[in-house]
């Protein structure tokens, strides 16, 4: 699977989560500091070819969903590790508990 296909699948998965969370394009554009809905919607349409992992994680945080969940929803192999979480908050709790030990 090529990079373009991965970005397209992740965009579709992000859209599914956004709709399930009841978020509008306008609210996501605002949360992500985009100038317009159409600028943000390019992510969900898979038209942003340089979607960084940091931007992806920011989007997941705005939707309160773990990045692994979005990878799984997109049927894309997540980065290698064995931890999966339902929400972004659970992900942060794990990261915080791991760094304090």
Q: State the pTM of this model.
A: 0.76
What domains appear along the chain, each with residue ranges and CATH number? 3-99 (1.10.260.40)
With vertex at residue 41, the alpha carbon angle to CA 39 and CA 46, rounded to the nearest 5 degrees, is 110
Contacts for 76 with CB less than 8 Å, ≥ 6 apart? 1, 6, 9, 10, 13
At 34-76, the pLDDT tens digits run: 999 999 999 999 998 778 888 898 999 999 998 888 988 898 7
């Amino acid at each position: 699977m090529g990079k373009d296909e991965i970005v397209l699948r992740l965009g579709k998965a992000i859209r599914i989560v956004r709709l399930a969370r009841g978020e509008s394009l306008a609210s996501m554009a605002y949360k992500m500091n985009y100038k317009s809905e159409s600028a943000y919607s390019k992510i969900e349409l898979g038209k942003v070819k340089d979607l960084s992992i940091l931007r992806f994680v920011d989007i997941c945080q705005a939707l309160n969903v773990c990045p692994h969940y979005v990878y799984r929803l997109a049927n894309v192999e997540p980065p290698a590790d064995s931890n999966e979480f339902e929400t972004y908050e659970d992900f942060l709790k794990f990261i915080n508990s791991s760094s304090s030990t």
